[in-house]
Amino acid sequence: MDKMISICGLDCSTCAALIAHQTGDQALREKTAKEWSAAYGAEIKSEMIDCVGCAETQGVHIGHCAECAMRTCGLAKAVANCGVCPEFESCSTIGEFIAKVPAAKANLEEYRAARKG
């Protein structure tokens, strides 16, 4: 499967919520719910592990999608992801996130470079 880059630069194709959605894997949902509950200090139920990808406007999404400032902004600006936004380099919202998530930054930079070339 090719990369499916989210608005913030995460690779949705490696996300358990997308994989569980595509495969109907209940064991993966249960395992991920336990892991995410522990990692994020929140009660995450297995039925919440279901997502079509944040850039999609139709279909199921994990709960955080509804409150994600990067997703809200990207959808409003109709950009594929933050990497192609004209404000990418000066945006504090994505800047704070990619400073903490180097893989997302690398994905966005790779996407930007591919569009310039």
Domain-embedded: residue 64: yes
Domain-embedded: residue 3: no
Domain-embedded: residue 5: no
Domain-embedded: residue 107: yes
Residue 45 has pLDDT above 50, yes or no: yes
- Average pLDDT of the residues in 10-23: 95
- Partner residues linked to 54 by β-bridges: none
Domains contained in the chain, number = 1
> For the chain, what percent of residues have pLDDT higher than 70?
98
User: Model confidence at 117, in pLDDT bands (50, 70, 90)?
Assistant: low
- Average pLDDT of the residues in 56-67: 91
- Average pLDDT of the residues in 43-67: 92
Domain-embedded: residue 106: yes
Phi-psi region of 24 (alpha: psi -120 to 50; beta: other; left: phi over 0): left
Give me the domain span that covers residue 64.
12-116
Domain-embedded: residue 47: yes
| Residue 44, C-beta contacts closer than 8 angstroms, at least 6 positions apart | 33, 36, 37
How many whole angstroms separate alpha carbon 101 and alpha carbon 10? 9
Q: Which two tokens stand for residue 48?
A: 């919440």
Residue 105 has pLDDT above 90, yes or no: yes
Domain-embedded: residue 7: no
Residue 11 has pLDDT above 60, yes or no: yes
